[in-house]
Amino acid sequence: MDRIAITGGARLEGEIPISGAKNSAIKLMAASLLTDEPLRLTNMPRLADTRFLGKLLQRLGTEVVEGDGAAGPETLLTTREIVSGFAPYDLVRQMRASFNVLGPLLARTGQAKVSLPGGCTIGARPVDLHLKALEALGARIDLHEGYVYAQAPRGLSGGEIEFPFVSVGATEHALLACVLASGETVLKNSACEPEIVDLADCLNKMGAKITGAGTPTIRVQGVSRLSGATHAVLPDRIETGTYALAAAMAGGEVRLTNTRSDFIQALLDKMVEAGVEVTPHNDGMTVKRNGARLKAVEVETDPYPGFATDLQAQFMALMTLAEGESVIRETIFENRFMHAPELIRLGADIVVQGGEARVRGVGSLEGAQVMATDLRASVSLVIAGLAARGETVVNRVYHLDRGFERLEEKLGACGAHVRRIKGDNHGAED
């Protein structure tokens, strides 16, 4: 497995273009199963996760063509015919979001057999909300030997779906299914993330009739078929926040482009409170820190527009050098402090109790060998390494490759000393 080595101490100066959003792109790719016409996605990120889903879609009958258009990377997906409604474990287990092919397969063909995604290192993340939503649309769901067998031979029918708690994945999955259901579907207590709006916008371009996306109540008037479309993937707000925090951690001045500051306003508010200078502009923002010590602040993760759980690990890295004690409360996933022991290896002072972490700022961090446990944890260690004395080596960076495109190149262009070490069976990665 590859590793990433960071020699800390270099200030960041320059510009970082933000890629298209991973969490949006993979759901938009799944939407290609809903039509026999081409779906062209522009501003596409090139990531392990999009490659994984591309392989699964090809197995189901989608022609996937990657290229570079006038606006940058794009992917053309054409599913003239569903040749298989079977999504096997070996493919689904590589990325949980691939489970979302179930709804489109069921909506278009009336049947599907999709593997349950299995466990997740950051929490249980059950799919029961997904399955209950499909049942509310008239699907028959059976579970056997780790697989979901779904049937709707007469098609799906509109209904009312009220989620017991906010779930981005379940909201997206319900949208992907109900656009072809007969009658009206009302989704209540829906997630409000920008990625939900992006998916709805794309589906509407394809001929769907969706209103209310971005609010707790979404209404969908089902249509009999969808057509092709061209849609630009929205900027990745998690990548935006990650590089904003990297600039704050290392010091210097970095301009983030091809993105929107309002997507991460909750994070930016906390960064300003901590002493970081943030200046929004038309296509992104500039983040600046002149070397003054940061102040500790309190943070609690919440569904959008609150503080994103996917930025919690990165913010914890920043707080390791802040003056005073910061308190970070995780309310979304129960096991999402696994990066704390690795940050402690770098010299951080962190005490975790249940869903709360107390971070007492230290004068400096020191480089060490650390292990990535999940996608966001891996990049938090890179951020910490930017400010640590000496060299930090992050192992198991395949996690990082799932969600960050050309990370070494983007940081390196701003002066960071970051390099990839190709896999050599290093013991720390076993």
Annotated binding site: 22-23, 96, 125-129, 310, 332
Contact 253, 277 (CB under 8 A): no
User: Catalytic site residue 178?
Assistant: no
Residue with tokens 């300003």: 272
Give the residue numbers of the binding site for UDP-N-acetyl-alpha-D-glucosamine. Answer: 96, 125-129, 310, 332
* Helix (H) or strand (E) run with residue 130 in it: helix 128-136
Which 3 state secondary structure label does DSSP give 166? coil
Q: CA-to-CA distance for 127 and 116, rounded, in angstroms?
A: 8
Contact 94, 26 (CB under 8 A): no
Q: CA-to-CA distance for 41 and 46, rounded, in angstroms?
A: 12
Structure tokens at 197: 């709006």
What distance, in Å, lies between the first and last C-alpha atoms of the chain? 9
Contact 300, 329 (CB under 8 A): yes
Residue 396 backbone zone (phi > 0: left; psi -120 to 50: alpha; other: beta): left
By C-alpha distance, which of 133, 198, 201 is closest to 170?
133
Parallel, antiparallel, or unpaired for β 284-289 and 325-329?
unpaired
Q: What angle do CA 25, 207, 184 make, to 5 degrees?
A: 100
Give the residue numbers of the binding site for phosphoenolpyruvate. Answer: 22-23
Q: Which of 120, 178, 192, 414 is labelled catalytic? A: 120
> 338-341: long-range contacts at Cβ-Cβ below 8 A with a sequence spacing of 24 or more?
338/121, 338/122, 338/373, 338/374, 338/377, 339/313, 339/373, 339/374, 339/376, 339/377, 339/380, 339/381, 340/316
By C-alpha distance, which of 74, 46, 75 is closest to 63?
75
DSSP string, 259-324: S-GGGGHHHHHHHHHHT-EEEEETTEEEEEE-SPPPB---EEB-STTSB-GGGHHHHHHHHTTSBS
The catalytic residues are 120
